[in-house]
Amino acid sequence: MSVPLLPSVPNSKPVLYGGVEAGGTKFVCAVGEAGGRPLAEAVFPTTTPAATLACVDDFFAAAQSRHGALAAIGIGSFGPLNLCRDSARYGYLARTPKAGWHDVDMLGDIARATGVPTAIDTDVNVALLGEARHGAGVGCSDIAYITVGTGVGAGLLVEGRTVYGFAHPEVGHMHIPKLADDANFPGACPFHGDRCLEGLASGPALRERWGKAPDELPPEHPAWTLQAHYLAIACLNLLVLCAPRRIVFGGGVMRQAHLFPRVRARLHALLGGYLDFAGYGVDIDTLIVPARLGEHAGIIGAFELARDFALSRHRDALKVGKGRT
């Protein structure tokens, strides 16, 4: 996927951006060039909004003092987020299960504290942006990125554009039919119990069902047969809904390399021959793939979000300038 460039000045300093990966457990802040590794980075726990956002402010103040001014900051945040631009609460956290963070003005607080133009999107949409431009989605304009970890979320790219409606997609809460073999498990979703993908296939669901963390379960454990089944249903739903050419999986649970062939095989069985992959020029082995950027997807994507925002501001300024001549 091509990315337009900001105007350059010969022998000028590189354009620097800020990135924030705002998670329910930790925040990652970084400064760097779009598409590059951070020049400076800090990680700190997510505590109260006041204490956590003060750390964000302190980091960017120190980073700009050392490396120079930032063109923009991109935030990839846990949610749910209000991403309706016409809303007075645009950039606010909505009904999040993270205690104390409901109704926090994530976008406004960071923008005001740093004094830097700032853009925001969901953490999974930002990781999607990173993978689409620099990772497993390069060359595809139609991508689904699914993260499976503490929660389950997904971002969708259709014809090169991130998908939104009145809110951002909540793929982790799509309802999933439960297997009879899993009947005794009550589910791990605080809203839907065992009726949604997150309640059945997130990291906490695996731990609660089996009494062990996912990375403690060996490949032959029956947990992975269930996991592959539920993830394959999610893939099937996405395929019949928006037909992505690539489904990229990230998150801690998906560090199990043996899980990918299981998901592909289960998806093939569930489809029952309905989709003619060969006829569409799609190879199931390259349709469902692991994320390539790993833990760096969020920050790399945040730099890209910041870059896009700076570019849009530059274009808007040019339009205003032309209107005055």
Confidence of residue 70 (pLDDT cuts 50, 70, 90): very high
What pLDDT, in 10s, does the model give residues 87-133? 999 999 998 878 899 999 999 999 999 999 999 999 999 999 999 99
What Rg do the C-alpha atoms of the chain give, in angstroms? 20
The verdict on residue 284 lying in a domain is yes
Q: What's the mean pLDDT in 304-311?
A: 96
Based on the fold, state whether residues 21 and 109 are members of the same structural domain.
Answer: yes
> What amino acid is encoded at 89 in this protein?
R
Residue-wise burial string across 231-244, b where 16 or more C-beta atoms lie within 10 A, e elsewhere: bbbbbbebbeeeeb
Based on the fold, state whether residues 219 and 100 are members of the same structural domain.
Answer: no
What pLDDT, in 10s, does the model give residues 235-272? 999 999 999 999 999 999 999 999 999 999 999 999 99
Say what percent of the chain tops pLDDT 90: 78
Identify the domain containing residue 172 by its residue range: 136-292
Check pLDDT > 60 for residue 8: no
Determine the Cα–Cα distance for residues 44 and 190; give it in Å rounded to an integer: 26
The pTM is what?
0.88
Based on the fold, state whether residues 91 and 140 are members of the same structural domain.
Answer: no
Q: Which alpha helices (H) appear in the chain, and where do they start and end?
A: 49-67, 106-114, 123-134, 197-201, 203-210, 223-242, 259-271, 284-287, 297-324
H or E segment and range at residue 20: strand 17-22
CATH number at residue 259: 3.30.420.40
Query: For residue 249, what are the β-bridge partners?
Result: 146, 290
Based on the fold, state whether residues 162 and 274 are members of the same structural domain.
Answer: yes
Residue after which a domain boundary falls, among 122, 157, 191: 122
Based on the fold, state whether residues 274 and 141 are members of the same structural domain.
Answer: yes
How many domains, in total, are found in the chain?
Answer: 2
